[in-house]
Structure 1
């Protein structure tokens, strides 16, 4: 009788353990899975502006709330989204933008926007106030970053072209398992035009073995230790990884810069597979 009772207790313990394991697995599967993203690639969805921070006379950071505090935007690293607004004449305008936030920033996303005097979408952002809504559609883009896909990135950015570079660099540096190196050359007209400088300098300080940034200015201040003029072949040779099958050069900036950088890279021996233009 004691043996039978002991056997029943043992079987009951096993059953409880199996149920506990099954329950734990179910909990992990249903409750700890990454939330579904909020973007729709086919239809525009509206997101409320909840915070507006003026960074300079023509640059501001816009924070938009997602539907819930635990929602994620759902934008793959290296991709962008289309934003819809109205220009000064009331006509519809659609323009691509890359957030500076990642899906690890739950409940909201942020856009750092430089507002040009004659920019059509710039007008829309300049007129926005907290409580207004922005129509967004995505994800869009041909680039989707996967950790470890290359040994190193060289990044050539101009002006607002820094935002996709910042997104990729931040994703790499915040992942302790990702050992990809990032070498950024960032060109602007004046010192005041440099976007996200505080964040980029923090990356360089906190991750000296994995991130470097070299600033280039057309009109530098009197005391300036960065590059002067335009990004040259010599700068690329000095600050970017040399051509190799396991590296890639990303570029994003105004059309004249993109055209010049493509010519430089071709002359330096970077194949088309080693280059990508956002």
Structure 2
């Protein structure tokens, strides 16, 4: 009996050590910048004919994604030919949303990753890795952000805006110009309008439509230099302009911003 008890001690220690390692691994945030991990789609909400919100469960109800503000994740899927495709997306959720993360996806007819999302059903799994991105932010870094977004380029802007506005200690002001073709193309409009109402002294939104409906009071056509000058703070050392949209729009906005004397130190493109 003495022999058995003596030899049980290292076994118990080994089991305890394994348990500790397992606990540490499981308690880590589920982000992984180098390796893909699988997350289950638990809810799919169709927002329009080509836009849906996808909610993925994290490992535990108390888990957070651990994604820094303004950074994105890479999603892996298969296109219509069965070939692997990887594309970056910015979740619209923050670490205050525990147990899950959400992606708002606009699915284009010829989009390779769009095909994968179009085919996804609740219960399916998505391979994800991250975080990725060059954007770094700390409260107080700037006095104000000007944001120019086009189409699905709103997702990093929305994430940054939520993080700043919901932080009571952060006094940074935000001005958003958001361009789309029609009113039905405006992603997250209800959520954006809610933020603009709740934080009216710190967050202003100006919508621009290429094909506006009758009675539209926002901007019409493309985002112009005059619109930027009217709605954004003037260039200063504590001002930063963020932009995210289709390549032609990003190029046009870069020219407008340069003409308005915003220097490279003022600019960031997602």
Is TM (by shorter chain) over 0.5? Answer: yes
CA distance in 1, matches of 2:180, 2:91: 20
CA distance in 2, matches of 1:64, 1:130: 9
CA distance in 2, matches of 1:94, 1:49: 17
**Residue of structure 2 equivalent to 1:8:** none
Deviation at 1:41, TM superposition (A): 0.5
**Residue of structure 2 equivalent to 1:231:** 223
Within the candidate set 111, 119, 138, 1:146 is matched to 138
**Residue of structure 2 equivalent to 1:31:** none
Instruction: From the CA coordinates, give the structure whose radius of gyration is larger.
Output: 1
**Residue of structure 1 equivalent to 2:14:** none
Deviation at 1:209, TM superposition (A): 0.6
Give the root-mean-square deviation of aligned CA atoms. 0.7
Within the candidate set 245, 248, 257, 1:265 is matched to 257
Spell out the pairing of 1:239-250 with structure 2 (5 A cutoff): 239-250=231-242
Q: What SS class does the counterpart of residue 90 from structure 1 fall into? A: coil
Q: Does residue 183 in structure 1 map to residue 190 in structure 2? A: no
**Residue of structure 2 equivalent to 1:57:** 49
Deviation at 1:144, TM superposition (A): 2.1
Which deviations, in whole Å up to 9, do the C-alpha atoms of 1:98-150 show, x marking residues without a partner? 00000111100000000001100000000000000000010000002211110
Q: What SS class does the counterpart of residue 42 from structure 1 fall into? A: strand
Which deviations, in whole Å up to 9, do the C-alpha atoms of 1:73-117 show, x marking residues without a partner? 010000001000000000000000000000111100000000001
Q: What SS class does the counterpart of residue 63 from structure 1 fall into? A: strand
Segments of 5+ residues of structure 1 without an aligned counterpart are 1-34
Q: TM-score normalised to the size of structure 1?
A: 0.87
Spell out the pairing of 1:1-278 with structure 2 (5 A cutoff): 36-278=28-270
Deviation at 1:241, TM superposition (A): 1.1
CA distance in 2, matches of 1:84, 1:238: 41
Q: TM-score normalised to the size of structure 2?
A: 0.89
1:36/1:72 contact within 8 Å kept: no
Deviation at 1:223, TM superposition (A): 1.2
Segments of 5+ residues of structure 2 without an aligned counterpart are 1-26
Q: What SS class does the counterpart of residue 237 from structure 2 fall into? A: coil
Which deviations, in whole Å up to 9, do the C-alpha atoms of 1:46-72 show, x marking residues without a partner? 100000001011100000000000111
